[in-house]
Structure 1
């Protein structure tokens, strides 16, 4: 079913702590940077405008004060929810350009309102490099909403954010699917205890992006529809360092593209938000261009086929060019050339050279078991339900790598290769965020 896309800017920084005492996060510039690469024209999308955020000013916030900017985030979430709701009421498909991950509160509020209106529940597919599940029950203090958004939208935390309009939770735990977190995510056991199903990177890679999207559909089979949250730090920092908290062990652009296409290829996907891209770390705009290419191709199922040909199923795109510290192109490492494998084969990663960065498999044994929930029937939002997919086997703990990927080895938590060898790209320059600095992900 083809739907017109409406692009809405949500350029908020309110959920992040300042990079320095005299600066503000750069994520507010992301919508403009992506629009500069003709995102709207390539999607043939309607411009749904911009929700201007309140002033960013942490003031004298201190640990123990609760979530920083809480009142401002609450007001912004109400305005964002209203605009998203109006887009859906027009029969359009909202694409929200953040901003930091606190935009999820506005989206979640809009989804809860919609679920109430149609008499069903709305689910969430949370595609993120981090679980963002810090809350007063598992941390000494909270502060940055962008590191707490999943906890807040599932009803954990202070009521002025987690219970707007008396709605709590916006998403039930059983209606949330988490994809792309790192195998050793700090809160992975908390997610498991809550009944939130996850597919960390090793499991996602073992099953493939296309099958993972189908699996996510199945987990939310008893929901009336679902919203998709994408934090670009789900990508490996070797190909996407322009985020506030880069963390090694992520996925490739090719995998994100296949995953997004699979998630939106159903009328039950209600919209998508994109967060945490920071143009301050992208001086020549090449990372923004690659994000736009991925989003346009990934959203192809939503738009007319002749408008946006699927990029992955045709020619192999050029690999992103790594940069030195001055932002000028570095000498790209060589890698095998040749046609891009078919989407299903590439999603299975039978050919590691198809990736744009070295495969760091993590420990597949750490992948959480992924149980399939029973389906009690999907509610209707006025569009026909898609044909039920062929059943897939339940993915349990992974004990071996798929063909073509070397067995995992013990690795240091951080430490890029000293130089790029065949098939590798150099790690990002020192001007990009430090992968060991989790300050924005963990504190205000």
Structure 2
């Protein structure tokens, strides 16, 4: 059954990132304000569910202690799930404005409380660093796919005893670059993978069909995780680690529209845009246009 009213919930956490410079904090927590200020909610005709306020970012970290801000992140993920779950149960589609990629934990925890759900993972990076393939884990925004599939800091992988939060067979990764450091590890799992190069070589409609087959065939629905650095860095430069050889905003918009119109789509989170790196708001305007075209019901 098709879901109803689009509702926007802010999750402006930057807990999963390392400091960009000594004495500073990652600016992606400003993402919701930048998009709201450009009229996103009005363009989407969306309800406003407010904000899950994150705890203070702590830049201090020591090698070997696990993920930065892990205790605060665990608490925040549970609070985010508590806010998201009732919206889902009301039959709403939800747009969660991050924040960094660690907000995926709370979003999938809310779904895992309800049953088996799939994940579309749109990202230039695999975010698959974990103790099995790296000397150290350090920032959950570079490890979120590993964490939600059960690999990583013990304080994050099994919240409420519900980990892993998604089954590997129900995950489709789209847009990761072919030179990703952990790509070989990812391909050794049951996770389905479409690199940005493969994406560029095929039509959007066939890709939509392939993704839906992965994430909706055996599940009660699916979630979309959008790390905006999946877009080619020439267009999406306001991210902590922009990458070349990615899809355009136009191609991303087509893909999102096709996925979002599926009756099985529960919602989407949007992450990693840093307004500090976009003083003229160029990327913000592109993001608003993309989301408006992809998520509007008109």
The reply on whether 1:175 has 2:170 as its aligned counterpart is: yes
Contact 1:209 1:256 in 2 (8 A): no
Structure 2 match to 1:270: 266
Structure 1 match to 2:79: 79
Residues 13-412 of structure 1: pairs in structure 2 closer than 5 A: 13-59=14-60, 61-115=61-115, 121-220=116-215, 221-300=217-296, 303=297, 305=298
**Greater share of helix:** 2
Q: TM-score scaled by structure 1? A: 0.66
In 2, the alpha carbon distance for the partners of 1:56 and 1:209 equals: 39
Contact 2:3 2:91 in 1 (8 A): no
In 2, the alpha carbon distance for the partners of 1:80 and 1:178 equals: 23
Q: CA offset at residue 43 of structure 1?
A: 0.6
Cα distance per residue 1:169-208 (max 9 Å; x no partner) = 1001111100000011111111111111100011111112
In 1, the alpha carbon distance for the partners of 2:239 and 2:205 equals: 25
- Count of aligned pairs: 296
SS of residue matched to 1:194: coil
In 2, the alpha carbon distance for the partners of 1:150 and 1:226 equals: 15
In 2, the alpha carbon distance for the partners of 1:7 and 1:211 equals: 29
In 2, the alpha carbon distance for the partners of 1:174 and 1:9 equals: 29
Q: CA offset at residue 52 of structure 1?
A: 0.5
Contact 2:14 2:57 in 1 (8 A): yes
SS of residue matched to 1:160: coil
Structure 2: any 5+ residue segments left out of the alignment? Answer: none
SS of residue matched to 2:243: coil
Q: How big is the alpha-carbon RMSD for the aligned residues of Structure 1 and Structure 2?
A: 1.0
In 2, the alpha carbon distance for the partners of 1:281 and 1:158 equals: 30
Contact 2:3 2:93 in 1 (8 A): no
Structure 1 match to 2:8: 7
Contact 2:31 2:275 in 1 (8 A): yes
Q: CA offset at residue 210 of structure 1?
A: 2.6
Structure 1: any 5+ residue segments left out of the alignment? Answer: 116-120, 306-444
Q: Which has the higher contact order (CA 8 A, sep 6+)?
A: 2
Q: CA offset at residue 153 of structure 1?
A: 0.3
Q: Is the radius of gyration larger for structure 1 or structure 2? A: 1
SS of residue matched to 2:58: coil
Q: CA offset at residue 2 of structure 1?
A: 6.1
In 1, the alpha carbon distance for the partners of 2:207 and 2:17 equals: 30
